[in-house]
A and B are shown apart, each in its own frame.
Chain A
Amino acid sequence: MPIIAGALAPHPPHLVYAENPPQNEPKAECGWETLRWGYERMRKDILALEPDAIVVLSPHWQTYIGTHFLAVPQLKSRSVDPVFPNLFRYNYEMQVDVDLARELESAAKDAGLVTALMENPDFRVDYGTIVSCHLLNPAWDIPIVGMSSCRNSAFYSIEVMQEQALALGKATREVLQASKKRVVLVSSNSLSHRHFVRESDIPEDMSKEHIMHHGQYLWDMRMIELMKQGKSREIVDMMPEFTTQAISETDAGAMTWMLSAMDFPTQPAEVYAYGSVIGTGNAVVSWLEPESKRKPLKEFADSLQWEQLGQKIKEGTQGGKFLEGLRNLVDSGGESTRSESRTESKKTPRTDNLPEGIKELFDKGLDKSLVKPVKAALRAGVPEKMLLAAIKRIPERDHSTARVAEVIELTVEAWQEYKA
């Protein structure tokens, strides 16, 4: 199953602003926590699936002649929101999966849609794509395929827009089904979408935040309820009316495209959060493909690159079990109940007598209190490469000292179990 998940990932720049990541220039005190915390949970679920690429359709790359696909391998620039430049001035650097972009583009063209590849290296990626991708994966270490929103709703009608999005979804599905890549599809949009036309003096003043209109709220709840029931076809059937009545940002076609590409999932969607941003209604939702929660073991072993354990692990049953166990340990990291730090140390320990690769980790800022457990692990006979691979596999965003300590400890346990 190459499509491993779909995500409704709205892009109000306010959410990035309130999070204060290093890439964004303006700084906030707080704001929109319900949505941001929901996003954090979705991020965890989706990244745990280890996607190879994120394919995102954004309403703010508006094209009037066909659907366009980013097709430059690396794009680096500064994204300034034209509407809220006071909140969002973000320096980004992204990798684009150009091969996948080209495949998607040619499939869409073969399906009779108007298309274009965006090959200009000076191009600035729209802020909708940047916001959604940041909120899903702030480390930016997964390649992106960016798709534009072809605004047929303006030139023809919402119904034409819908048909086009359905066809684009079908073409996307065909490509991804034949692909080995594990892909997350992202519909970058709010639900109901009327802004207040005035901004409060403190943009993150939450006493001023509420939905613009009760009718919009009711519509949003109606759609979310259908998502929770796994009624994707009903959602798509209702989309033109919803878009008109709730003045929804689904007018970009992103959500119809995503549900069509996922062949109208019937499993209940996971709704992480709903909240208003300057009056608009926003839901953070995922559709996780049940059978594809994790990478196959062989891929997992490849990703660890354990030369020392090598084929034994990939082939042997016992090795497989061991690997499964270790993967669980590594993946669960600080989430288990054993997360309290056992690594307190008063004086700064020496790292110069450690193997080079591990010493480097400490040079790059790994907490020195971890020297002791690392040395203990090495003394216990854990291969250096295995220890290194286990630590490096902890996603950078979760790199707390407690979590690293725990992974070290669990690696030792796993190693001893394996040897026994």
Chain B
Amino acid sequence: MSNENPIVLGGLVPGIPHPLLCPNKNAGWLALNNGFARARQAIIDSGADLLLLYSTMWPSVIGHQIQARPEPEWVHVDELFHGLGSIPYKFRIDAPFGEKFAKAAQARGLQARTVDYHGFPIDTGSVVALKLLNPDNRIPASIVSSNVYSDRAETLVLAKAARDAMEGRKVAVFNVMTLSNRLFTDWIHPDQDRIHSAKDEEWNQKLLQFLGEGRLEDVAQLSRTIQSSIRVHKVVNFKPMWFLSAVMGQDNNYAGTVHAYAPLYGTGAAVVTLVPGNGAVGLKEFDEDDVEVFSGDREVVANSAHAPLAPPAAETAPPAPAKAAPAPVASTGNVTVNTAKAPDPVGAYPHARRQGDLLFLSGVGPRQPGTNAIPGGPIRDSEGAALDYDIEAQTQAVIDNIRVILEASGSSLDKVIDVQAFLVDMDRDFKGYNKVYAATFEPIQATRTTIAIRALPTPIAVEFKVIAKA
């Protein structure tokens, strides 16, 4: 993390519309409305030039979405509390920041896109937060969705991408969320509002104590416990505190203020602000989820406890497989590429990996996909005794495998920039290798380095390492 903290203020606000639409019907809703006003003042005092919202009420499925319509305008009606009235709005969105954020997220291996469409349904929570925190569009805002499937690593990387995009900015970042989220499931009179259960109340108090003490990372670390204790499981996990802590710097050194806390139709609603301390340092233990780049291998079904089992066998049903097969997922467009058309890797590496415009291939030998047969024959038998082999056939097989991997990655042989070739017997093989190489690479004019080495991990004589344009 950079030492210059672009975040000047953090916080959380509830998204249920009562504090905006009918604050006077209940003392707690009014207290929340006043809490919003104090948070609004805190944003002004912080000197922030951008307000970033992470909304738990904006679910996304295809990665994360970031609002990028400069002036979205609509008359919003909540799908549940439509009887409270309509909310006309016109917001000022920082579209260039949204684009930057999306690009930064992509560069860190995430699926992300901006949305710039008239009539895009901005969620009630974001509408409430922007109306109350930034009523005159004093500073531009940005909104990011919450992916329903994402878990911790992905959320931390998203937060880091947000930071990447913040260079030179002063940002106030707020979560749109409740603490305990159990709503009443029947209509209540405003006077009857209370936190749904004593258990929820105890947890909310504990979290507010932590937040009041500025212990944001501690709350983030509690997210899984919070999910199991006081969250109705509408999504895979309770993520907003992961986002907030990671975007703010992953530490416990904040000046926290709880501006309001009240029940909102049974849920625990709080307005909290967190001002970063000076020289805050994270004191975390090793954390395997805390990665810099998301590896894009989230496999919702196969890795999930919810992986579907085959239905019970019956005369009418086709025979059930013994176990659920891993889900095939198209990998084009991913950061890493693996293809069944190239030989299986012999270690924990992908066939290729894209970084920016470049495609890096792992070392490619002549082995045939599926059979592992070596065209031109192996260089030794299973006992280690040397065999005669055809270097030209092996070299051609290497080039063919490279072609397949490049094409599976959306590239092609003519886009190869640089080749490193490894030969186990330079004296014997250089000539044959060089001849076959020229047949393909002469017109391509990639740079090349040929190195003699002692051995390769399988009984082959040649391997190429290639960098190509993606």
Contacts and interface: CB of A to CB of B under 8 A. Distances in A.
Contact of B185 (A62, A64, A218): A64
A244 interface: yes
B324 interface: yes
Contact of B301 (A116, A123, A194, A229): A194
A186 B275 CA distance: 52
B330 A247 contact: no
Q: Dominant SS at the B interface?
A: loop
A89 B69 CA distance: 15
A61 interface: yes
Contacts of B314: 222
Interface in B294-332: 298, 300-302, 306-311, 314, 316-318, 320-321, 324-325, 327-330, 332
B160 interface: no
Nearest to A127: B121
Contacts of A120: 77, 82-83, 85-86
Contact of A214 (B59, B306, B325): B325
Contacts of B309: 215, 245
Contacts of B76: 122
Nearest to A194: B301
Contacts of B186: 65-66, 114
B382 to A, nearest CB: 37
B61 A155 contact: no
B60 interface: yes
Contacts of A244: 306
A78, A114, A215: which has the most chain B beta carbons within 10 Å? Answer: A215
A218 to B, nearest CB: 5
A210 B79 CA distance: 33
A114 B185 CA distance: 8
Nearest to B81: A65
B317 A221 contact: yes
A281 to B, nearest CB: 11
A281 B265 CA distance: 36
Interface in A170-211: 192, 194-201, 208, 210
A155 B182 contact: yes
A126 B184 CA distance: 23
Interface stretch (B111-119, B385-393, B420-428): B111-119
A124 interface: yes
B255 to A, nearest CB: 35
A120 to B, nearest CB: 4
Nearest to A219: B311
B451 interface: no
Interface in B117-154: 117-121, 123, 147, 149
Contact of A89 (B82, B117, B149): B117
Interface in B327-348: 327-330, 332-334
29 contacts: A61-B79, A62-B79, A62-B80, A63-B80, A80-B121, A82-B123, A85-B115, A85-B120, A89-B118, A89-B119, A119-B83, A122-B76, A126-B79, A151-B234, A192-B308, A196-B329, A197-B63, A197-B298, A198-B62, A208-B332, A213-B324, A214-B324, A214-B325, A215-B321, A218-B318, A225-B317, A229-B316, A245-B311, A247-B308
Interface of B: 58-63, 75-77, 79-80, 82-83, 85-86, 111, 113, 115, 117-121, 123, 147, 149, 182-187, 232-234, 265, 298, 300-302, 306-311, 314, 316-318, 320-321, 324-325, 327-330, 332-334
Interface of A: 61-66, 68, 77-80, 82-86, 89, 114, 116, 118-120, 122-124, 126, 148, 151-152, 154-156, 192, 194-201, 208, 210, 212-216, 218-219, 221-222, 225-226, 229, 242, 244-247
